[in-house]
Structure 1
Amino acid sequence: MPLVDMPLERLVKYEGRNPRPADFDPYWDRALAEMKAVDPQMELIPSEFQVPFAECFDLYFTGVRGARIHAKYVRPKNAPGKHPAVVQFHGYSGNAGDWHDKLVYAALGFSIASMDCRGQGGKSEDTGGVKGTTQHGHIIRGLDDHPDNLLFRHIFLDTAQLASIVMGMPEVDPERVGAFGGSQGGALSIACAALEPRIKRLAPVYPFLCDYRRVWEMDLANNAYAELKTFFRHFDPQHKREEEIFTKLGYIDLQYLVSRIRGEVMMGVGLMDQVCPPSTQFAAYNKITSPKTVEIYPDFGHEGLPGFPDKTVQFMLGL
């Protein structure tokens, strides 16, 4: 079998390369305290798009640092009682997408919320406010500022805040909520379940934002990770700050958040992935301590994994 990374027998044992900050846990405890102190001022506004069997809403809430975050929210009509829900997250630079793919879950009796990441392709705000460059991406935003100002810190918190809002909906059973998404969406489903451990099931696909140093060492700081190369070339061309930079990125490295997950995990991985290398994904997967399975696609890269969306629906039906 051709390889772009380690053979599978090494992947399942790989523990990651990126440094973990010494104060990682206090960092995230402090972040969660900031999030919980925010009044979300949630709004549900009926959408122009409606269907006979479900209600569709634009949902807005206030996240950390005052940003108004948008999500599409769909709930089934005439549900007999509290029902399960899922939260959905999109790929890097994208948005919540059209309404039609949410209707599958509504037809099955689920509510679903699909978040627009702040500052990306949807309606969520980016309130900015960091020192240093913001050129070519969100991973590097805040690298020259205090770690509490890293943009992905705020985005990770948005996912947990959205899940908590959904769990508080009168129609939703808070003990039956799942999360899913691909690439950045896979990363955010992991962050969501780590920071809101009531998430019962999560189905991430080739998650982004894992093991940054490994990406760099594989010379794959291209595509979604290209901003790492841009940052070094412009702001640290001799890599004198390399250890500092990768350590700061460790605050938003999902391999160190996954130990907080309590829900069941089903992850999809393509072994030919050159955007989010398999080893970086396994760096996170191998640290998950809750029940977990991985669906392997040996000949597939960072692309649709045939059958995995159907597996995800079946998996969520177990909520």
Structure 2
Amino acid sequence: MPLYDLPVDQLRTYRPDVAEPEDFDEFWAGTLDDARRHPLGLQVLPVASGLRTVEVFDVTFAGFGGHPIKAWYTRPAGVAGDLPVVVQYQAYGGGRGLAHERTLWANAGYAYLFMEPRGQGSTWGNGGQTPDPVGNGPARPGSMTRGILDPREHYYRRLFTDGVRAVEAARALPGVDGSRVIVTGISQGGGVTLAVAGLVPDLVGVMADVPFLCHIRRGAEISPQDPYLEVAGYLAVQRNHVEQAFRTLSYIDAVNFARRANAPALVSVGLMDQICPPSTVYAAVNHYGSRSGGPRPDVDVVEYPFNDHEGGDAHQQARQLAWVAERFGA
């Protein structure tokens, strides 16, 4: 697990020219407009989780295409009034798991919505329940190459839209103060977090841990592991698709969303991370807020010099608890 990427002093100033399509804003505005033509269809059902200090609810809402997306809503038991809410997105391959698993933010005194990624949930963890009913052309196993030749068909167009709709669902939940929302996630969840930060203009905060999907072309060129290796493996076979594939991926590159974010952010990076190379994370960090239309928002970066993709783990959670309390005024 060596230090294989740029020297740390270069990482901290690494601000590459990441490809961005000219119609990026129009593409995403149209995508969200299409999604919002479907009623949110929010369903909130209490769950007998066996927990005494938190209440858990099974949530369903309409995501991309009106497709039903599952989530857990957790909040402190017996607490009246509207609470600020943390919305979290899952890492690659995981599902929402079981009702009793997601308790940290509710135990900290906040409302908490944990969204399941469509079509995932059977790689690790305790399972998922949200299908992805959309098909795609020839692809390598995994999600990165699903729809890779057309941004309208790409998997992450659907997942990022689901992520925005999850914020809208969280704001509509009973017992939630919709004016105070923080989004968070690890790895894939961190990439979704940055995408949502660029698409939702009134968040209180953004927490992205070892985020995936940043500077995707560099990730595909230097990462020795999946999921970026899915792209490299696909292009090793589909040799004539290189430029078309990376044009599609530029529509879902988290750097391009990070440019548009305007909420303060807390980002972690593992300097020995072989899944999400540190230079890709710093590409998003150093572009963050550059096209927000106002002063550049604060970005706190926490480096873990000898850590791989586990990043800060519980140490980072401790930082997040303090950071969230400050943002929510708790």
Q: What's the TM-score bracket when you normalise by the shorter of the two chains? A: over 0.9
Q: What corresponds to 1:66 in structure 2?
A: 66
Give the alignment of 1:63-142 within 5 angstroms: 63-121=63-121, 122-130=128-136, 132-142=137-147
Q: What corresponds to 1:55 in structure 2?
A: 55
Q: CA deviation at 1:17?
A: 5.2
* Distance across 2 between alignment mates of 1:221 and 1:3: 13
* Distance across 2 between alignment mates of 1:52 and 1:7: 49
* Distance across 2 between alignment mates of 1:98 and 1:228: 31
CA distances 1:203-238 after superposition (whole Å, capped 9, x unpaired): 1111001112112332x25222121122112222xx
Q: Is the 8 A contact 2:59 2:70 kept in 1?
A: yes
Give the alignment of 1:274-293 within 5 angstroms: 274-289=274-289, 290-293=297-300
Give the alignment of 1:171-190 within 5 angstroms: 171-190=175-194
- The amino acid of 2:3's aligned partner reads L
Change beyond 3 A, Cα 1:94–1:129: same
Change beyond 3 A, Cα 1:50–1:57: farther
Superposed CA RMSD: 1.9
* Distance across 2 between alignment mates of 1:118 and 1:87: 16
- Structure 2 regions of 5+ residues with no counterpart? 122-127, 290-296
Q: Is the 8 A contact 1:271 1:278 kept in 2?
A: yes
Q: Is the 8 A contact 1:17 1:211 kept in 2?
A: no
Q: CA deviation at 1:79?
A: 2.4
1:308 aligned onto 2:322: no
- The amino acid of 1:133's aligned partner reads P
CA distances 1:217-266 after superposition (whole Å, capped 9, x unpaired): 32x25222121122112222xxx432222121100000001122221101
State the TM-score, normalized to the length of structure 1.
0.92
Task: Point out 4+ residue stretches in structure 1 off by more than 6 angstroms.
Answer: none
Q: Which moved more, 1:163-172 or 1:75-84?
A: 75-84
Q: Is the 8 A contact 2:268 2:311 kept in 1?
A: no
Q: What corresponds to 1:212 in structure 2?
A: 216
- The number of residues matched between the two structures is 313
Helix, strand or coil: the match of 2:44? strand
Q: CA deviation at 1:100?
A: 4.3
Q: Which moved more, 1:93-102 or 1:268-277?
A: 93-102
Q: Is the 8 A contact 2:198 2:257 kept in 1?
A: yes
Q: CA deviation at 1:118?
A: 0.3
Q: What corresponds to 2:160 in structure 1?
A: 156
- Structure 1 regions of 5+ residues with no counterpart? none
Q: Is the 8 A contact 2:269 2:311 kept in 1?
A: no
Q: CA deviation at 1:85?
A: 0.8
Q: What corresponds to 2:271 in structure 1?
A: 271
Q: Is the 8 A contact 1:16 1:214 kept in 2?
A: no
* Distance across 2 between alignment mates of 1:216 and 1:72: 33
Q: What corresponds to 2:306 in structure 1?
A: 299
Q: What corresponds to 2:248 in structure 1?
A: 248
Sequence identity (%): 32
- The amino acid of 2:317's aligned partner reads P
Q: Is the 8 A contact 1:221 1:228 kept in 2?
A: no
* Distance across 2 between alignment mates of 1:259 and 1:61: 28
Q: Is the 8 A contact 1:89 1:96 kept in 2?
A: no
Q: What corresponds to 1:222 in structure 2?
A: 225
Greater RCO, 1 or 2 (C-alpha within 8 Å, sep 6+): 1
Q: CA deviation at 1:176?
A: 1.5
Helix, strand or coil: the match of 2:287? coil
* Distance across 2 between alignment mates of 1:113 and 1:301: 27
Helix, strand or coil: the match of 1:106? helix
Change beyond 3 A, Cα 1:175–1:43: same
CA distances 1:25-49 after superposition (whole Å, capped 9, x unpaired): 1111111211222212111122231
